[in-house]
Amino acid sequence: MKPSYAIIGCGRVGTSLARQLSAAGYQPAGFSSRTRDSAIQAAKAAGKEEAVYDNSWEASENAGVVFITTPDHSIAPACQLISENRGFQENAVVLHCSGALSSGMLSAARDCGAVIGSMHPLQSFAAVTESNPFAGIKVAIEGDAAAVDCAWKIAVDLGADPFNIRTDGKTLYHAAAVVASNYLVTLMRLSFELLQASGVPEREAYGVLKPLISGTLNNIERVGIPDALTGPIARGDVDTVSDHLSALRQLSETAADLYTRLGQATIEIGTAKGSLPTDAAAQLSRLFSKHIR
């Protein structure tokens, strides 16, 4: 039989979990949030409106699995409060969903004999949706062995694809996710701005770039890095890069700085690919150094 669960912190992730855990056959035991309204929404999504509690330790005390899905900075204090009020069952599994923080944030739960872990859905939850946001996504799991086992089963039951992350690797793991997701948005904005300055209407920017972006992702999947790198740095076309930098400086210092820093890192990839001649790599390196502010 699947364990019962409680949700402490009923926002986007907590309420999504409530809906999908109940749909997967887990028994809702209690819901508590900073405001009663949010707890009610989660309880409704879980199909157990009567399981709303004003005190977090009352929501958690009958649950086999307790999810603390408050904002990151409130996870440890929320866990501490429940522990002080003896709100964790002995052998309960206590989990949080932060990507950046480790299960260590939940150490107060051990005072009650609970086991602790973290279970990070590698997905952006902008809102609570009817459809299952966990289906097909990766979920990074670490913590006490019993907590890892339990989180793994939950992730599979939610339709996700779990994997183990080292406890001391979580900060860098999360930085990797920020680079791949958030900084991709930053790069796309820069590219849209440059296209617009070149005369392409703003509304057409994404459509113009989409086949290029998809092709690059396909190449990374097919041949990997460094072989997926193409373009002037991979070819050692120093004059083209120099022209880019001059044009960018006139347009925006920030754009030129970003291009310079990323260009420096790209030299290493061109060299590793074997397509960038040594003398061109040295010239590019000098060119970028002149532009570093």
Ligand X SMILES: NC(=O)c1ccc[n+]([C@@H]2O[C@H](COP(=O)([O-])OP(=O)(O)OC[C@H]3O[C@@H](n4cnc5c(N)ncnc54)[C@H](OP(=O)(O)O)[C@@H]3O)[C@@H](O)[C@H]2O)c1
Min dist CB 69 to ligand X, Å, is 4
Q: Structure tokens of 153?
A: 């089963």
Contact status: 131 vs ligand X (CB under 6 A) = no
When the beta carbons of 49 and 239 are compared against ligand X, the nearer one is: 49
When the beta carbons of 177 and 256 are compared against ligand X, the nearer one is: 177
Q: Which of 45, 97, 106, 255 binds ligand X (CB under 6 A)?
A: 97
The residues that bridge with 27 in the sheet, in sequence order, are 4
Contact status: 78 vs ligand X (CB under 6 A) = yes
CA distance 151 to 157: 10
Min dist CB 34 to ligand X, Å, is 4
Q: Which of 35, 131, 198, 278 binds ligand X (CB under 6 A)?
A: 35
Question: How do beta strands 4-8 and 65-68 pair?
Answer: parallel
Min dist CB 81 to ligand X, Å, is 8
**Which amino acid, one-letter code, is at 191?**
S
CA distance 17 to 255: 40
Q: Which of 4, 20, 27, 33 binds ligand X (CB under 6 A)?
A: 33
Q: Tell me, by CB under 6 A, how many residues bind ligand X.
A: 27
CA distance 182 to 163: 22
**SS3 at position 119:** strand
Q: Which of 71, 113, 215, 274 binds ligand X (CB under 6 A)?
A: 71
Cis amide bond preceding 133, omega within 30: no
Contact status: 74 vs ligand X (CB under 6 A) = yes
CA distance 120 to 128: 17
CA distance 236 to 254: 24
When the beta carbons of 28 and 121 are compared against ligand X, the nearer one is: 121
Min dist CB 132 to ligand X, Å, is 15
Q: Structure tokens of 225?
A: 């890095």
Q: In what order do the strands lie in the sheet containing 65-68? A: 27-32, 4-8, 65-68, 93-96, 115-121, 138-143, 161-164
Contact status: 102 vs ligand X (CB under 6 A) = no
CA distance 37 to 243: 57
When the beta carbons of 73 and 261 are compared against ligand X, the nearer one is: 73
Q: Output the residue with the shortest Cβ distance to ligand X.
A: 11
Q: How many residues does the chain have?
A: 293
Min dist CB 144 to ligand X, Å, is 19
Q: Which of 70, 89, 103, 266 binds ligand X (CB under 6 A)?
A: 70
Contact status: 8 vs ligand X (CB under 6 A) = yes
Q: Which of 10, 18, 76, 160 binds ligand X (CB under 6 A)?
A: 10
Alpha helices of 115-237 — where are they, by DSSP H? 145-157, 170-177, 183-198, 205-223, 232-235
Contact status: 85 vs ligand X (CB under 6 A) = no
Q: Which of 6, 13, 66, 106 binds ligand X (CB under 6 A)?
A: 13
Stretch that binds ligand X, among 71-79, 135-143, 204-212, 221-229 (CB under 6 A): 71-79
Contact status: 59 vs ligand X (CB under 6 A) = no
Of 229, 235, 195, residue with least CA distance to 215: 229
Applying CB under 6 A, which residues contact ligand X? 8-14, 33-35, 38, 56, 69-72, 74, 78, 96-99, 120-121, 123-125
